[in-house]
Structure 1
Amino acid sequence: MTTDNLSGEDFWNARYAENDRIWSGNPNLILVREVPGLEPGTALDLGCGEGADAIWLAGRGWRVTAVDISQVALDRAARQAAAAGVADRVDWQRHDLGVSFPTGVFDLVSAHFLHSYEDMPRERILRTAASAVAPGGTLLIVGHAAPPPWESDPHPGVHLPTPQEVLRSLELPDGQWEVQLCEEYERTQNDPQGRPATRTDNVLKVRRLRG
């Protein structure tokens, strides 16, 4: 699929319309690993896709605002939330995050694999995400550190930042945040032929200190 002459919304709507399910339906590994130690409160899930992370959080007592650019994805996610019995705990909102952002502050702001094939002001979006973290709250950012091993430079010119670069780009004020994780990690993902392969991703977890 080409992105020529397609808006971000049109591209992602078409992408989600290709199949009944694009992603695995399981919550992201780092979310499952890092969130259980936090007291459930309000959460913001940026780029929620088909809703697996938001539904998992809602099932554990969080009240979630889940955001995506694709209404197709949001409608699918809402159906999954209803089937899981957590529809009343998730507010699904459509935003092109380069243009608009949910209002309010949150005890957890999560951005997993907030990458896009088209131009997206990711650094600016993540700085806005940091500003939406409540005092004592957590910002969790997970991203790809490299393209999949079965592809050779699939998107020339696209820079996948290191976790240290993500941290610097947030421009967090000194003395107001605690860095809890800033590292790369490996996970297994099947390639298009169903064979297991190793992916390298990165994680940044920071906590906003209470003033």
Structure 2
Amino acid sequence: MSAIDRETYDELYRSAPAVWSGRANRQLVVEAADLPPGRALDAGSGEGGDALWLAERGWRVTAVDFSPVALERAGRAARARGLDDRVEWVHADLDSWTPPAGRFDLVTAHYLHATWTDRAALFRRLAAAVAPGGTLLVVGHLHGEAWGHGEHHRHDPGALYTADDVAAVLDPAEWPDVVTATRERDAGAAERTGNPVPDTVLVARRRIPVG
């Protein structure tokens, strides 16, 4: 990720006291509400809405983002809600940062604007971080054209991907249970951001070794 992109996101976060709603993303709530709490990795955590939602439900969360402005804001929110001891905030670029292998019961990534040279490698690193029996959840904006994104920014088609793109990097022997789907975007989020683009969703469970 270039310095220009990092600076662009820092400026975005500086532009308002809160850029996003502070609530958890819809697909995370749908997929994780009934999971037993464990260790979670929130890749591209932004202002921390997903990480804090997980922490409130008993998860221990590693939240990673390249914007120090977003991480500082998220950290303040965690302290205000008494959750600071349940979330580790990590300042890192996902295009070069390697999470610990097999560490997390849930790895979640929402709306990564992945313009990296080797996007497949990024998703392989995230998948490798999932513990046996754990869940990988990747949610993006359905691509196909340069969709508008309301007041905040526009999406370059090269930054977008489908759930099938992510599924293609998973070894079927390690990931026997993979679901890809297109789902309608949360109506409140669509109205708030001006972005009605459907979500492309991958949910995958990692195999538990036998014997």
> What TM-score, normalized to structure 2?
0.85
In the alignment of these two chains, the number of paired residues is 200
1:71 is the counterpart of 2:68: yes
1:83-130 C-alpha deviation (Å, 9 max, x unpaired): 1111110000001111223335101000011115x6464322111000
- CA displacement, residues 70-92 of structure 1 (integer Å, 9 cap, x when unaligned): 01100000001111111110000
1:87-166 maps to which residues of 2 (within 5 A)?
87-104=84-101, 105-115=103-113, 119=116, 121-146=118-143, 147-148=147-148, 154-155=154-155, 158=158, 160-166=160-166
CA contact (8 A) 2:137 2:203 kept: yes
**SS at 1:114 equivalent:** coil
Letter in 1 for 2:163: P
Q: Secondary structure at the match of 1:19?
A: coil
Cα distance in structure 1, aligned partners of 2:116 and 2:175: 29
Unaligned runs of 5+ in 1: none
> Could you tell me which of 5, 11, 14 is aligned with 1:14?
11
Give the aligned CA root-mean-square deviation in angstroms. 2.4
Residue number in structure 2 paired with 1:190: 191
Name the structure where strand makes up a greater proportion of residues: 1
1:54 and 1:64 in contact (8 A); partners too: yes
Aligned residues with identical type, % of pairs: 44
Distance 2:133 2:97 in 1: 25
What secondary structure sits across from 2:96 in the alignment? coil
Question: Given that residues 114 and 122 in structure 1 are in contact (C-alpha distance below 8 angstroms), is that contact kept between their aligned partners in structure 2?
Answer: no
CA distance in 1 between partners of 2:162 and 2:87 (Å):
31
Tell me: CA distance 1:174–1:156, structure 2 relative to 1, closer, same or farther (3 Å): closer
AA in 2 matched with 1:167: A
2:42 is matched with 45
> Quick one: structure 1 residues 125 and 25, their matched pair in 2 at CA, closer, same or farther if it must change by over 3 Å?
same
Contiguous gaps of at least 5 residues in structure 2: none
